[in-house]
Amino acid sequence: MSFLDIIQILDSTIRLATPLLLACLAGLFSERSGVVDIGLEGKMLVAAFFSAAVAAITGSVWIGLLAGIAAAVVFSLIHGLASITFRGDQLISGVAINFLAAGMTVLIAQDWFQQGSRTPALTGDARFGTIDLPFADALSGVPFLGPLYADALSGHTILVYVGFLAVPATWYVLFRTRFGLRLRAVGENPGAVDTAGVSVVRLRYAAVLICGLLTGLAGAYLATGLAAGFTKDMTAGRGFIALAALIFAKWRPWYALFACLLFGFLQAVSNRYSTLDLGIIEIPNAFVLALPYILTVVILAGFVGRAIPPRAGGQPYVKER
């Protein structure tokens, strides 16, 4: 493997990790508040469709981005209404959202564009362009670090950098603000928060709305940044991969970053090589893709530390009278 191959794999890793990271942080906010959300996949899918569709119609990727975020927020509110207000089963609500998004996007795409459940290819201002970081050209000639900065870290779309900046922002909000303290407390002991005079319902809805915002960014990036349009089921299980990364990261923002980079790296390697020749054995790329899930199961089994979810996760809160 040459140095150029390594740079290209790192570049692909960053691109592929971005939607996982945004969705993982979305699930982090939701589950830290006690609302389990397996509907990340559906919200990403509906955001991907509406961002690409509106961008194709208007010719503006920014209007498409707003449409994708709005669609994901609406689906988040549906999940919040079912699981917080009506105290329904959060898992069933998430599954319903996934099925609704999968069917609705195909139906609307075929009705609007008649192109086999896809949107027209996005070009020009209808999709996000790449951004060169400062001094990328000047540093490209520096051995090792220059190509790493100029070719791997630079040249991504703005949503990639937004995704990575969201990690310290999430850490700060959750662990350095009053809102974050209350949000984490709601996920652990909502009764104590209610006794202190803080609205459990309001906090959980706030977490659900933040989840919708981040999944909207993730879906919009898939359709207008990573790809150039919407195709049927284009999320390809990334919402579930983000959930696995969230468990792997033990519901912590910085761990989530490294977990998503690991998932993205393994996906980049499997996309580039059909088999990995280690000299002694050859590893098929299917095993490389399965490795993060194996590690997640190992962590859940308690062999490498323990992944302990918020204690009130999945439990609807009933206010005592």
> In degrees to the nearest 10, what's the CA dihedral of 189, 172, 167, 306?
-40
The predicted model scores a pTM of: 0.94
Helix (H) or strand (E) holding 275: strand 275-277
Cβ atoms of residues 165 and 183 within 8 Å: no
pLDDT, one tens digit for every residue, the chain (321 residues): 678 888 999 999 999 999 999 999 999 999 999 999 999 999 999 999 999 999 999 999 999 999 999 999 999 999 999 999 999 999 999 999 999 999 999 999 999 999 988 999 999 999 999 999 988 888 888 888 888 888 899 999 999 999 999 999 999 999 999 999 999 999 999 999 998 989 999 999 999 999 999 999 999 999 999 999 999 999 988 999 899 889 888 899 999 999 999 889 888 888 887 777 777 788 787 787 787 777 767 766 665 566 778 888 888 888 776
Are 28 and 253 contacting, i.e. CB atoms less than 8 angstroms apart? yes
Question: Quick check: 243 and 27 in contact, CB under 8 A?
Answer: yes
Helix axes 90-113, 40-58, angle to 10 degrees: 20
How far separated are the first and last CA of the chain, in Å rounded?
66
Give me the DSSP letters along 33-68: TT-----HHHHHHHHHHHHHHHHHHHS-HHHHHHHH
